[in-house]
Amino acid sequence: MSKGGEIVLLDCWVSPFCIRVKIALAEKGVEYETRAEEDLFGDKSDLLLTSNPIHKKVPVLLHNGKPLCESTIIVNYIDETWPSPPLLPTSTYNRAQARFWADFIDKKVFDAGHNIWASKGVVPETAKKDFIEILKQLEGALGEKDFFGGDSFGFLDIILIPLTSWFYTIEKFGGFEVKEVCPKISAWMNRCMERETVAKVLPDPEKVYEFAIMIRKMLGIE
C-alpha cells in the first residue's frame, strides 16, 4: 500500500480545479491513481455520480474509498492529512488571509476569464477591465514576495497557478497580455512553472486554447 492508503482522483485534464489537487498530492509525494472523466458534458461515470451527488463535478478525491469534493477543501484536507511539507501558513492569522484570497480567487477568476473567452461576438470592454482588475488585486496580495505565502510555494500558489493555464486563451480573445498588464503576476507564474510538481501537470496552453474553441463551437458561438 502506498504512503497514505488508496487514493483515487476523478479527473479531467483541462480542469484547473483538478490540477490543484494533483499539484498538492505531488508536493506531498503521495502516489495516487487517476481516473479520467472524459465525457463531462454527456455521461458522467457512476463513480462520479455516487461520490459527488450534490454537484456531480470533478475533482473528487477518494481516500480509502471515502469521497472528498470541492478542490479548495480537498487541498486543505491533503495538507492536514500529510503535514509535510506544510502548504498552509503556520500562523492562524496568515491562514485566515490565505483562505480569504483562495475564496476571492474561487469567486472571481474563473468567471471573469469565462466572460472573455466564452463571449459571443466582440468581447465587452467591461469584461476585459474586470479581469485585469482582479489580477491587479491579486498582485496587491502578492506584493514583493516570491510566492503568495512568502518565500516558499504553498497553498495559495496551488489555488491560483492552474487557472493560469487558461490565461493564453483569455489573452487571445481579450487582446491583451498578462505580462504587460500585470508583470508581477507574470513573474510569479514563471517562478511556479520552475517547480516540477507544477510543470508536470499544467496542460499545454495551446491545447487549452483548442479545447476552448471546441467548447465555443459546441455552444454555437464560434
Partner 1 sequence: MAEEVVLLDFWPSMFGVRVRIVLAEKGIEYEYREEDLRNKSSLLLQMNPVHKKIPVLIHNGKPVCESSIIVQYIDEVWHDKAPLLPSDPYQRAQARFWVDFIDKKGEEQEAAKKEFIEVLKVLEEQLKDKPFFGGETFGYVDVCLIGFYCWFYVYETFGNFNIEAECPEIIAWAKRCMQKESVSKTLPDGKKVFQELMR
Point out which residues bind partner 1 (CB under 8 A). Answer: 54, 63, 66, 68-70, 73-74, 76-77, 80-81, 92-93, 95-97, 99-100, 103-104, 137
Smallest distance, partner 1 to C-beta of residue 141, A: 9
C-alpha cell of residue 87 = 502548504
β-bridge partners, 214:
none
Smallest distance, partner 1 to C-beta of residue 146, A: 22
Q: Which is nearer to partner 1, 44 or 95 (CB)?
A: 95
Q: Which is nearer to partner 1, 82 or 188 (CB)?
A: 82
Q: Which is nearer to partner 1, 103 or 206 (CB)?
A: 103
DSSP state of 182: -
Q: Which is nearer to partner 1, 36 or 73 (CB)?
A: 73
Smallest distance, partner 1 to C-beta of residue 52, A: 10
Q: Which is nearer to partner 1, 75 or 201 (CB)?
A: 75
Smallest distance, partner 1 to C-beta of residue 151, A: 21
Helix, strand or coil, per DSSP, at residue 205:
helix
Buried-exposed string 139-152: b where 16+ CB fall within 10 A, e elsewhere: bebbeeeebbbeee
Smallest distance, partner 1 to C-beta of residue 70, A: 6
Q: Which is nearer to partner 1, 89 or 171 (CB)?
A: 89
Buried-exposed string 28-49: b where 16+ CB fall within 10 A, e elsewhere: bebebebeebeeeeeebeeebe
Smallest distance, partner 1 to C-beta of residue 7, A: 13
β-bridge partners, 128:
none
> H or E segment at 71?
helix 71-81
Please tell me the distance from the alpha carbon of residue 47 to that of residue 90, in angstroms, as a whole number. 35
Length of the chain in terms of residues written = 222
Helix, strand or coil, per DSSP, at residue 35:
strand
